[in-house]
């Protein structure tokens, strides 16, 4: 383990794990509290459309994925507020549209797409300095937003009607937070991939929710549990030489199961 710390790729992986844990711990708590898991899943899969366009046009995949995800997030939020469109229908529109666009342009792209599996399943050992800068920027912006506006965010997350009565700009907060959900998803694509990124935004929060219902405490616990999951999954990925995304999620589910069992069999006896 000590020898691994001398490798640049492992140092990048550790820093990426920390930043991703902070970003996902913050915005993931909002997702779980608002019950936006399905929406987040739709945005995640819609980002594949941006990657497909990038592979076809030669543009940076992360940039295209970010733009496509942001477009999908705003579109889902706008359609879900209309009376003639149900929320789950709005999600399905962008989910399937993004996947369809991604598949079409991937097959139209000239040559072979060697990086496609990385974006689908993730590999934290391959993240670059550019990925770290993007993840760091998203994490800093999220931290600033939640520090400055934590009380209205909590109000919007738990009771929209009360927020309206307090003259909180609910719509503005919803659009901004949806954009941050999209950016966080894109920033974590290289780590866990499109297929599994939604788990990093929900499983640590579900585990934290076993021990507390306090929004702020859930954020801190989610960050810690997420980082522990990333470390365990990172080491398992390195030893088994398999994609890190799957091992990180596997480790996070293992932690959830252990906490669930402890919570059920041991905690009530105290």
Q: How does DSSP assign 33-86, residue by residue?
A: HHT-HHHHHHHHHHHHHHHHHHHHHT--HHHHHHHHHHHHHHHHHHHHTSTTS-
- Cα–Cα distance, 150 to 146 (Å, whole number): 5
Q: What is the pLDDT of residue 115?
A: 64
Q: What is the pLDDT of residue 23?
A: 93
Stretch among 117-131, 141-155, 226-240, 244-258 having the lowest mean pLDDT: 117-131
Q: CATH number for the domain including 35?
A: 1.10.3470.10
With a pLDDT cut of 90, the percent of the chain lying above it is 34
Please say if the pLDDT value at position 37 is more than 90.
Answer: no
Task: Quote the mean pLDDT of the chain.
Answer: 86
Per-residue pLDDT, averaged over 89-105, amounts to 87
More confident residue, 40 or 254: 254
- Cα–Cα distance, 124 to 232 (Å, whole number): 12
- Cα–Cα distance, 80 to 240 (Å, whole number): 43
User: How many separate domains does the chain show?
Assistant: 1
- C-alpha 49: how far from its chain's center? 17
Domain residues for 213? 3-269
Q: Closest Cα to residue 22, out of 201, 237, 195, 158?
A: 201
3-class secondary structure per residue, 114-152: CCHHHHHHCCHHHCCHHHHHHHHHHHHHHHHHHHHCHHH
* pTM, to two decimals: 0.88
Per-residue pLDDT, averaged over 241-260, amounts to 88
Could you tell me the two tokens for 162?
A: 């009360």
For the CA atoms of the chain, what is the radius of gyration? 19
- C-alpha 73: how far from its chain's center? 13
Neighbouring C-alpha atoms within 13 Å toward the C-beta of 175: 9
Per-residue pLDDT, averaged over 32-48, amounts to 86
Please say if the pLDDT value at position 212 is more than 70.
Answer: yes
Per-residue pLDDT tens over the stretch 167-197? 899 989 999 999 999 999 988 887 788 877 8
- C-alpha 106: how far from its chain's center? 23
């Amino acid at each position: 383990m000590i020898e691994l710390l001398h490798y640049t790729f492992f140092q990048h992986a550790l820093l990426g794990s920390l930043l991703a844990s902070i970003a996902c711990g913050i915005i993931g708590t909002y997702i779980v509290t608002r019950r936006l898991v399905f929406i987040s899943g739709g945005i995640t899969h819609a980002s594949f459309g941006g990657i497909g366009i990038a592979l076809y046009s030669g543009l940076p995949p992360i940039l295209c994925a970010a733009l496509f995800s942001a477009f999908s997030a705003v579109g889902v939020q706008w359609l879900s507020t209309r009376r003639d469109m149900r929320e789950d229908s709005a999600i399905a529109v962008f989910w399937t549209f993004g996947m369809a666009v991604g598949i079409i342009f991937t097959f139209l792209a000239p040559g072979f797409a060697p990086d496609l599996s990385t974006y689908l399943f993730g590999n934290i050992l391959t993240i670059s300095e550019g990925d770290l800068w993007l993840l760091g920027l998203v994490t800093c912006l999220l931290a600033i937003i939640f520090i400055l506006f934590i009380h209205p965010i909590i109000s919007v997350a738990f009771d929209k009607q009360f927020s309206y009565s307090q003259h909180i700009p609910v719509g503005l907060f919803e659009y901004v937070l949806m954009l941050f959900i999209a950016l966080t998803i894109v920033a974590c694509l290289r780590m866990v991939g499109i297929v599994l990124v939604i788990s990093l935004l929900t499983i640590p929060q579900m585990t934290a929710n076993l021990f507390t219902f306090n929004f702020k405490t859930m954020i801190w616990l989610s960050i810690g549990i997420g980082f522990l999951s990333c470390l365990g999954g990172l080491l398992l990925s390195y030893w088994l030489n398999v994609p890190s995304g799957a091992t990180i999620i596997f480790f996070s589910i293992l932690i959830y199961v252990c906490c669930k069992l402890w919570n059920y069999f041991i905690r009530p006896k105290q």
